[in-house]
Amino acid sequence: MAVPIRLVCQALGVSPQKQSEMLREHDALAPGLRIIRVPIGGRIQSVLAILHTHIAYWLGTILPKEVHEDARPKLVRYQTELIAVLNALYGPQVDSSLAPGPLATDLHVQYGEGVRQLRAVQETLLTLTSGQRAIQGKDDSIDTRLRDAKIINHPGMLVAECR
């Protein structure tokens, strides 16, 4: 499942061109890019999209000063939580025999909230991409029918003959 880059960029108020260029040059994110076909203005167009598995990390790379002012606090909070999650996964291991202090308890609560919010984002993305898959399926069906059609030229008119 992939989400168009432009949609995310518009929501955040960042330049789709700049983000697309950055994503293409990023060694870890570039493999998650795809070209998908979506309806835009009554036509089917090919657009750059990113796999849903790469969005969480991509959001961690966007500079908060580049996003809309109203989205900035949310992005900063998300990136702060991302740091805590990554540190919990890859940071130094703490002796488990030590009793957790208030800081550890607070981090555990923040981690749980971060996971809950990531799951909500994932559900939203799954809803968006399921609609995208339905559109892509209809588009593929139309392409198949057009490919199977035999076009016959008659003077003054064009007739499609289906098999």
What is the percent of the chain with per-residue pLDDT over 90, rounded to a whole number?
45
Sorted by sequence, the CB contacts under 8 Å of residue 48 that are 6+ apart come out as 4, 5, 6, 20, 23, 33, 34, 35
Please determine, for residue 47, whether its predicted confidence score (pLDDT) is greater than 70: yes
Share of the chain above pLDDT 70, in %: 70
Instruction: Say yes or no to pLDDT of 127 above 60.
Output: yes
Quickly count helices (H) and strands (E) in the chain: 5, 5
The pLDDT of residue 99: 54
pTM: 0.56
Mean pLDDT score of the chain = 80
The two structure tokens encoding residue 154 = 């008659």
Residue 76 pLDDT > 50 = yes
Render pLDDT for 137-153 as a digit per residue (tens, 0 to 9). 666 666 666 566 554 44
Spacing of C-alpha 38 from chain mean position: 14
* pLDDT the model gives residue 160: 47
What digits encode the pLDDT tens for the residues 1-36?
A: 899 999 999 999 999 999 999 999 999 999 999 999
Identify whether the C-beta of residue 100 lies closer than 8 Å to the C-beta of residue 108: yes
Confidence at residue 102, expressed as pLDDT on a 0 to 100 scale: 63
